[in-house]
Amino acid sequence: MQLALIVSFLLAGGACLLFFFSFEKRKPAVKDILPVVVMVAAASAGRVIFNFLPQIQPVTAIVIIMGIYCGKQTGFLTGALCALVSNLFLGQGPWTPFQMLAWGLVGMLAAVLAKVPPFRKTWAVCVYGFLASFLYGAITDLWTVMSMGESLSWPLILTAYAAAIPFNLLHGVGNIAFLLLLYRPLGNKLKRIQEKFGVLAC
Amino acid sequence: MRNPISEFHPLAVFLYFMTAVGITILWNQPVFLAMSFGIAFGYASALEKGRNILRSLVWLLPVVLLPVIVNPLVNHRGNTPLLYVNDQPITMEAILYGLFTGVMIAAMLFWFQAYSKSLDSDGFLYLFGKRFPSIALMVTMIFRFVPQFHKSLQEIAAVQKTLGVSTSQGTLKQRLQAGGMLLSALISITLEDSLQTADSMNSRGYGLPGKTRAKKIRFTLRDGLLFGAALGELLFFLLLWGMGKTDFYYFPALTSTGWTPEVIVFFAVTCIYFLIPIFIMIGEEIKWLFLKSKISRLPIPKHKSQP
């Protein structure tokens, strides 16, 4: 009986759909969505380009930057869309809703933390980026864990998550590198279009 | 090989695959899982080129083997201990449960692979575009931005080259710096361009009622048949599942409710249901052979003969 898998699948997908519903309800202006489109396109292209390196991709870094500069909603939207679109290139699977939720939450949490000014310092963002890889891993590995059905138990969950640690570490190191490279330059560009065009204010 | 399923209505295709995946996840009966895996693998392979089939066999091995190894180590239920590790029994039931969990995951992944090949992004947007117009617009524009990135990057590189900034000359450090500059310019330009696009879209009446689609998608009889088949199959399964007819237990010993008549009927129906795409493929292939033989009988003057 793989009920746990179906339920977790529906929960993750449902959470993303719920967010999309609330986003559509606000009737977003074209001006507010196009910068997000550009960033998602850049991040997804980056993920496809870096696909030859395991776990190393710029998506998490860009999602965090969008969360910090453009707020909770845009952070979640960027994360969810990055997963959806890059998987259209790399292949959809049962992991898609989990990745959408995980990246969305990473972006959302970044926006919440950014409310506290010291968090906006580069080193603090890098620390968050490193830890975010574990949050992302914990959510995306859920479908692997849930597919074990009746064997689901604490030792199994611990084993699965322990096995994922090296991958999460790689992902975290990649995040730090991309954040060091992109955080300030990209942030300044986002600030500039926010001031110049009056869009995406959080 | 051509995939005839991709020419069906997106709604029918979506329901077809979700039903196949859903039943594969929920019915843990070994014979059924082997059948689902075999057909999904055959179907996904028929849509792939030769080398990609080999590649999918490479990742298939860990997917199936990992649960076989991990499961008996953490799950000690089952009546038939084979050996003891640290005073903990390794049971045959746990190994079998792990094996068929692996087969289930692999079958599900192959169904998803075939699904990805059958429903392109256009069909996907058609399905979700009505309810999520802004999200659908964003996904469409993201696709459009990828070639634009490429074009803008070439333009920027051409201009920067006249200023002596190039990624193909100089020391490694200079080249990396040049690359960084190009990317930075690219993002600035596309961000600002995108806002101009927004103005342009607004002035052309984006969001006003009466929008039409470039590609006409119609729900025809054959779409209705596929949709009906998927719905019927799903309801049939949910009925048996709800009555507990499909229950299968691995612990403490492999037990099932047996091959009752309704389970046999359902198994046969599901087998046919899973084979629908293959039937259509073969049907189209026969039709084409038939048409080809007709063409060759027509009195057309021969072109240059092939060596």
Q: B59-118: per-residue pLDDT in tens?
A: 788 888 888 888 888 788 888 888 888 788 888 888 998 899 889 989 988 998 888 888
**B90: left (phi > 0), else alpha (psi -120 to 50), else beta?**
beta
- pLDDT, mean of residues B198-221: 81
Is residue A131's pLDDT more than 70? yes
> Chain A contact for B37, CB < 8 A?
no
> Chain B contact for A28, CB < 8 A?
yes
Residue B210 falls inside a structural domain: no
| B57 to A3, B60, B62, B110, B214: CA distances (angstroms) | 27, 5, 10, 11, 39
Provide the pLDDT confidence category of residue B301 given band limits of 50, 70 and 90: low
- Domain count for chain B, please give it: 2
Residue B140 falls inside a structural domain: no
Residue B133 falls inside a structural domain: no
Over residues B4-56, the pLDDT tens digits come to 888 899 999 999 999 999 999 888 899 999 999 999 999 988 888 777 778 77
Residue B100 falls inside a structural domain: yes
Residue B182 falls inside a structural domain: yes
Over residues B116-142, the pLDDT tens digits come to 888 887 888 888 887 888 888 888 888
> Chain A contact for B201, CB < 8 A?
yes
| Residues contacting A113, CB < 8 A, separation 6+ | A68, A119, A128
CB A80 within 8 A of CB A105: no
Residue B66 falls inside a structural domain: yes
pLDDT at B304: 63
Give B1 or B122, the one with higher predicted confidence.
Answer: B122
> Chain B contact for A36, CB < 8 A?
yes
CB A75 within 8 A of CB A192: no
Considering the domain architecture, whether residues B278 and B155 belong to the same structural domain is answered as no
Considering the domain architecture, whether residues B114 and B31 belong to the same structural domain is answered as yes
> Chain B contact for A177, CB < 8 A?
no
Q: Which residues of A120-155 are buried (b: 16+ CB within 10 A; e: fewer)?
A: eeeeebbebbbebbbbbbebbbbbbbbbbbbbeeee
pLDDT at B117: 86
Residue B303 falls inside a structural domain: no
Q: List the 90-119 stretch of A: residues with Cβ below 8 A of B.
A: 91-94
Domain range summary for chain A, segments of one domain joined by +: 3-197
Give A75 or B51, the one with higher predicted confidence.
Answer: A75
Considering the domain architecture, whether residues B187 and B234 belong to the same structural domain is answered as no
- pLDDT, mean of residues A111-138: 93
Q: How far is B87 from chain A (nearest CA, A)?
A: 16
Question: Domain range for residue B107?
Answer: 4-119+223-295
Residue B187 falls inside a structural domain: yes
Cα–Cα nearest to B106, from A12, A160, A135, A94: A94
Round to whole Å and give the CA distance between A186 and A191. 9
CB–CB contacts below 8 A, A to B: 139
Give the HSE-up count for residue B268: Cα atoms under 13 Å, Cβ half-sphere.
6
Is residue B2's pLDDT more than 80? no
Considering the domain architecture, whether residues B195 and B258 belong to the same structural domain is answered as no
Q: How far is CA B43 from the centre of its chain?
A: 11
Considering the domain architecture, whether residues B227 and B85 belong to the same structural domain is answered as yes
Widest pairwise Cα distance in chain A:
57
pLDDT at B223: 93
CATH number belonging to domain A3-197: 1.10.1760.20
Considering the domain architecture, whether residues B109 and B168 belong to the same structural domain is answered as no
Considering the domain architecture, whether residues B195 and B227 belong to the same structural domain is answered as no
Considering the domain architecture, whether residues B101 and B195 belong to the same structural domain is answered as no
Considering the domain architecture, whether residues B73 and B187 belong to the same structural domain is answered as no
